[in-house]
Amino acid sequence: MRLDCSSLICSVLVVFVASDESDVELKPALGLCKKLNPCGATVSTFPLLEPDVEESSGFGSGASPPVYDEILTHEIYDLNATPEMRNSTLCSCPDDAVCDFESDSNVVKVDYHVTLRFCSLGTISTVCKRNSINLRVIGASQASGDSVQEVSNAMMFCNCPNGFSRQPVEVWSGQDISLNYKCL
């Protein structure tokens, strides 16, 4: 039996590169979904809207006037562009059912950025009656701090047939934030 050293070195290199700790992420097993938990979430990230140079104010070289206060500036997204979609599975459905990211029958569209997916929408049977937080979406904050880049947990306490109104963002544990919503 003849060993080819070049293939052995290549195999060791492949194993070494594949076992790089930064590439491997171990996650705990998913828990079973409860009545108020969506099984998955889709985060849509739209590109930023670039100002039209021809419609600028005339300051400088056609750009808008500089704004020096970060409180006055906020990001404006191009909602006509194709978003980058990121799906997250949050829990496992009972009876070995699959959290369907393709179907529209199990979807609650929260806003232009977050869509929740349920094992069955029938689990959220009560209609919201109180004027308190009815939906909470928790996840890692985007750099802007105004939304999440990935959802790690969500809870929908009751059904809002007319949609949602976003409330102020809360700081959660670590680098996570909580997006809170009330019924319209």
The 10s digit of each residue's pLDDT in 41-70 is: 999 988 877 766 555 555 555 555 555 555
Q: Which residue has the tokens 């194993």?
A: 15
CA separation for the pair 113, 134 (Å, rounded): 17
pLDDT of 79 reads 79
pLDDT of 64 reads 58
pLDDT of 71 reads 53
Regions in the chain scoring below 70 on pLDDT:
1-28, 51-75
pLDDT of 59 reads 52
φ/ψ region of 174 (left if φ > 0, alpha if ψ in -120 to 50, else beta) reads left
Would you tell me how many other CB atoms lie within 10 Å of the CB of residue 92?
16
Distance of CA 122 to CAs 35, 37, 105, 118, 159, Å? 9, 12, 11, 9, 10
DSSP H or E run through 16 = helix 5-18
pLDDT of 50 reads 74
Rounded to an integer, what is the distance from CA 95 to the centroid of its chain?
A: 26
Q: Where are the domains of the chain?
A: 30-46+64-183
Residues with Cβ within 8 Å of 152's Cβ and at least 6 positions away in sequence, in order, are 88, 90, 138, 139, 140, 176
